[in-house]
């Protein structure tokens, strides 16, 4: 388990050459998977821009250095498939407001921790509002959404905080079924037979989220950037409602403003 501060600015060491080939400058987060997908590295040709490497290329992260097999692990940012979309989303956890599923502001993120074996976000340190002292760590399994404006967590998160995360944490990873009160994932042979690829897990998560809000009512009127009404206050949420909200980039706002 490593905190982001323990990783940033570490030397990147090529095992093949036995030499430093750069320094860690940025962790590129995937909000859908809740994980570090890429690492941006500053090498000696810094004047040509940062280089990128997939997290899968990491051999190990120690107190002194992050190791990779060889220099070929680094490439130009534009040549890494998928990284541009993530950079445009620009998810940055430190300073991000923490919101409960029912819309209560809990605090903000002061630090986050990753499983250094997989790159999964294991937890986020919570700094309560009007406090300079962290209250504890939110385990990854209680995080519902990694949004650009808010980190959405389960209700009653204050009672679920931990002082530290176990080194062999297995509760983080692809966000499978973390929506509060959503139907539980299949058990027994049904769960065992489900496709575990990231794409399939994401699709499974999104379907559970849809099922959870279908039939409920919108607590507020939601409009798009031009002021056009996307969802009326009190409107019963249907699949068509969800599609409209997604098309207008208001889906997260919709999920945060529902009532029975």
Residues 6+ apart with CB under 8 A from 16: 69, 70, 71
- What residues pair up with 14 in beta bridges, in sequence order? 19, 68
3 state SS of 191: helix
Domain span holding position 77: 2-89
Rg (CA), the chain: 20
The structure tokens listed for 42 are 């500053």
Number of independent structural domains in the chain: 1
Q: Over the stretch 76-123, which tens digit does the pLDDT of each residue have?
A: 888 888 899 899 888 999 999 999 999 999 999 999 999 999 999 999
Closest CA to 171 of 143, 142, 141: 141
Q: Read off the CATH number of the domain in which 61 is found.
A: 2.30.30.240
- What residues pair up with 131 in beta bridges, in sequence order? none
3 state SS of 114: strand
C-alpha 182/C-alpha 159 separation (Å) is 20
Closest CA to 144 of 156, 133, 132, 134: 156
Q: Are strands 136-139 and 2-3 parallel, antiparallel or unpaired?
A: unpaired
pLDDT at residue 144, rounded to an integer: 94
Q: ∠ CA(154), CA(107), CA(149), 5° rounding?
A: 80
Q: Please check whether residue 198 is in contact with residue 174, taking contact to mean a CB–CB distance below 8 angstroms.
A: yes
Sites in the chain below the pLDDT cut of 50? 171-194, 196-198
Residue 42 forms part of a structural domain: yes
Residue 231 forms part of a structural domain: no
pLDDT at residue 214, rounded to an integer: 83
pLDDT at residue 194, rounded to an integer: 44
Q: Over the stretch 133-156, which tens digit does the pLDDT of each residue have?
A: 999 999 999 999 999 899 999 999
The number of C-alpha atoms within 13 Å of 12 and in the hemisphere containing its C-beta is: 26
Residue 7 forms part of a structural domain: yes
- Torsion angles phi and psi, residue 66, rounded to 5: -105, 130
pLDDT at residue 130, rounded to an integer: 84
State if pTM tops 0.85.
no
pLDDT at residue 205, rounded to an integer: 53
């Amino acid at each position: 388990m490593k905190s982001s501060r323990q990783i940033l600015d570490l030397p990147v060491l090529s095992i093949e050459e036995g030499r430093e080939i750069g320094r860690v400058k940025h962790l590129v987060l995937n909000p859908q998977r809740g994980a570090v997908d890429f690492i941006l590295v500053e090498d000696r040709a810094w004047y040509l821009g940062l280089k990128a490497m997939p997290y899968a290329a990491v051999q190990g992260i120690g107190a002194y250095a992050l190791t990779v097999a060889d220099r070929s692990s680094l490439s130009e940012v534009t040549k890494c498939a998928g990284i541009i979309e993530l950079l445009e989303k620009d998810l940055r956890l430190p300073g991000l407001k923490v919101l409960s599923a029912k819309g209560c502001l809990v605090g903000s993120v002061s630090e986050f921790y990753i499983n250094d074996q997989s790159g999964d976000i294991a937890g986020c340190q919570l700094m309560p509002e009007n406090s300079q002292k962290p209250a504890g760590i939110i385990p990854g399994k209680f995080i519902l959404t990694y949004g650009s404006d808010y980190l959405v967590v389960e209700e009653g998160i204050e009672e679920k905080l931990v002082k530290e995360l176990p080194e062999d944490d297995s509760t983080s990873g692809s966000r499978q079924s973390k929506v509060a009160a959503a139907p539980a994932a299949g058990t027994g042979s049904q769960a065992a037979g489900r496709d575990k690829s990231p794409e399939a897990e994401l699709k499974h998560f999104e379907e559970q989220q849809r099922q959870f809000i279908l039939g409920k009512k919108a607590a507020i009127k939601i409009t798009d950037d031009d002021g056009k009404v996307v969802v009326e206050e009190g409107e019963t949420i249907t699949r068509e409602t969800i599609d409209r909200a997604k098309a207008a980039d208001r889906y997260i706002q919709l999920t945060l403003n529902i009532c029975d």
